[in-house]
Amino acid sequence: MAPLCYLRHRFPPEIIQHAIWLYLRFTLSYRDVEELLAERGLDISYKTVRRWVLKFGPTIARRLRRRALGRAIAGISARWWCGSPASECISGVGIVNLSRGGILLPSVARRFGAEKSLARL
């Protein structure tokens, strides 16, 4: 994805990103963001914040979603069997890694939609 272009904007990218983050993260109104930035000594109109959110908001939100999704996929925390299901040796809470022989417990499998994979075992 191409980097965002902040050329021809009066304020530095950090301030623009912070204003957008405040609006998107805390579901504030544009005027609330204007007040928060005014408390920090920045004279920015709520109309300017609106323009920034409309211009840069979708791209920033998409990047944040991708980053959050990557973290969620990388480390699903659940109980898993070490060895075969017949051994009944359950390890503690750890990272599910099916490529190393770990098998999801039925309760966790239902939560992640993996009942079909358990039925084949």
How confident is the model over 13-46, as pLDDT tens digits?
Answer: 999 999 999 998 898 999 999 999 999 999 999 9
Query: What is this structure's pTM?
Result: 0.55
* 27 falls within a domain: yes
* 7 falls within a domain: no
Give the C-alpha separation, 26 to 29, whole Å.
9
- My answer on whether 69 and 17 are in the same domain is yes
The whole-number pLDDT of residue 39 equals 96
DSSP structural state of residue 94:
E
- My answer on whether 59 and 80 are in the same domain is no
- My answer on whether 67 and 86 are in the same domain is no
Please name every residue paired with 90 in a beta bridge, in sequence order, or none if there are none.
81
- My answer on whether 30 and 62 are in the same domain is yes
Total of domains in the chain: 2
Do β-strands 90-95 and 103-104 pair in parallel, antiparallel, or remain unpaired? unpaired
Give the C-alpha separation, 102 to 68, whole Å.
24
Evaluated on CA atoms 85, 86, 89, 90, the torsion sign reads positive
What is the biggest distance separating any 2 CA atoms in the chain, rounded to whole angstroms? Answer: 67
Which residues, other chains included, contact 98 with Cβ-Cβ below 8 Å and sequence gap of 6+?
Answer: 104
Question: Could you tell me the residue range of the domain that residue 103 belongs to?
Answer: 75-119
CA atoms within 13 A on the CB side of 4: 18
CA atoms within 13 A on the CB side of 65: 7
Segment 62-114, tens digit of pLDDT:
887 888 776 666 555 444 444 455 544 444 444 444 444 555 455 554 555 54
Radius of gyration of the chain (CA): 23
